[in-house]
Amino acid sequence: MNSPSKVGLFIAKIHQSSDRLFTRKLREHNLIDLNPSQGRVLFALKEQDLISIQELSERTSLSNSTLTSVLDKLESKNLIERIHTREDRRKYLIKLKNKFHENFKIYYDIVMEMSKIYFEGFSSDEIREIEEKLIRIMQNLEKHEKL
């Protein structure tokens, strides 16, 4: 590679544009209380409830400090609760409260709409190829992040 790749710039622009569009769609559906990071946490909890902060951090790719801030906001909105573990009272499991379950269908539909937007005009093979390459980029970054 003779010149620097613009992949990092493209990923950053995609992330910013996606967040803006996703936030707008949340507002259009009166889910104005949520931002994309909060939605990611709620979506992960919907897939599996009662998980540790560490596991939630891994599933959402949010740092512990960012995740703690997101959890504080979600707890203040009465969407989640922190439950002490029996083994260690200093550790918590995160649980969804019923309030979010009521809005999950709307949220899920927005996520599906975003997926359609991302891959508009792409064939199934192209989508699979893009996902495979993005996974490889993510793995490369994670490997170097741990060094």
User: Starting at the edge strand that comes first in sequence, how are the strands of the sheet with 92-96 ordered?
Assistant: 51-52, 92-96, 80-84
| 62 contacts: CB under 8 Å, gap ≥ 6 | 37, 40, 41, 56, 70
Strand, helix or coil for residue 96: strand
For residue 14, what pLDDT is reported?
94
pLDDT for 1 equals: 57
50 neighbors 95 (Cβ within 8 angstroms): yes
Please give the single-letter amino acid code of residue 64. Answer: N
pLDDT at 145: 81
**pLDDT of res. 90:** 76
List, in order, residues 6 or more apart from 104 with CB less than 8 Å away. Answer: 42, 46
Per the DSSP assignment, residues forming a β-bridge with 96 are: 80
Q: Residue 31: name the closest of 116, 108, 112, 117 by CA.
A: 108
- What are the per-10-residue average pLDDT scores of the chain (147 residues)? 80 92 89 80 89 90 89 91 82 84 83 95 97 93 84
pTM over cut 0.85: no
**Rounded-to-integer distance, Cα 19 and Cα 37, Å:** 9
CATH number for domain 7-145, candidates 3.40.190.10, 3.40.50.2300, 1.10.10.10, 3.30.160.110: 1.10.10.10
pLDDT of 125: 97
Provide the pLDDT for residue 140. 92
Q: What is the pLDDT of residue 3?
A: 67
Note the pLDDT of residue 92: 85
Domain residue spans of the chain: 7-145
